[in-house]
Amino acid sequence: MVAVGDPVDTGLVASLAKPGGNITGINSTVEGLEGKRLELLREVIPKLSHVAALQNPENPTLLNYLKEMQVAAQVLGMKVQVFEARTPSEFDEMFKAIVRARPGALRVMGDRLFLHNRQRIMDFATKQRLPTVPSHPELVDAGGLFSFGPSYSSMHRRAAYFVDRILKGAKPAELPVERPTKFELVINLKTAKALGLTIPQSMLGRADQVIQ
């Protein structure tokens, strides 16, 4: 299993319905997620107006997410300010820039750089008392406020379907690329309490996992 962003945009498949070639699988790219994340943030912080977004400019698949976030932010009356890092060596300067900007929350985009350095990022966010919304739930375990996105465990289980079909003779070109059907909301209630934030009961009721 390989993360490739949108397989159509990157040219890996001709279309999701008819991928052609020798590639198929499950694509985690879903439109509307960035807007939903900002809406959830607004539920927790009604007066939120300024969000910092961590992004790796070496990852081109994040550009569409950033554009989507900017559009959603305009609708919600928010400002999204992007901060970039390509390697861990650039983190300190990025952190200093975020402190100077004084955002009300931090959005950590889905990139291996941030996933692998999650504790360093969350230590910074905790010190700055920044509510943080990452793409990867692992960052919520490390101290993030909440995450919302496709259920990767469900996607991994669904991948077995493709393996089974191909081993039985199906051609990848004939197996439509699927979108995720299950999404997970993970909330760190301990972090919320430490930040003096109240998670609405309506949001807690929708959570798939609550970290106490």
Instruction: State the pTM of this model.
Output: 0.80
Residues 6+ apart with CB under 8 A from 7: 13, 16, 19, 23, 25, 27, 177
* pLDDT at residue 1 in the model: 43
Q: What CATH topology corresponds to 33-150? A: Rossmann fold (3.40.50)
Distance, in Å, from the CA atom of 177 to the CA atom of 58, rounded to the nearest integer, reads 25
160-178 pLDDT per residue, tens: 777 878 888 888 887 787 7
Q: Parallel, antiparallel, or unpaired for β 209-211 and 50-55?
A: unpaired
Residue pair 101/79 in contact by the 8 Å Cβ criterion: no
Distance, in Å, from the CA atom of 132 to the CA atom of 137, rounded to the nearest integer, reads 11
**Which of 3-7, 22-26, 137-141, 162-166 shows the lowest mean pLDDT across its residues?**
3-7
Mean pLDDT rounded to a whole number for the chain: 88
Is pLDDT at 210 greater than 90 in this prediction? Answer: yes
* pLDDT at residue 14 in the model: 60
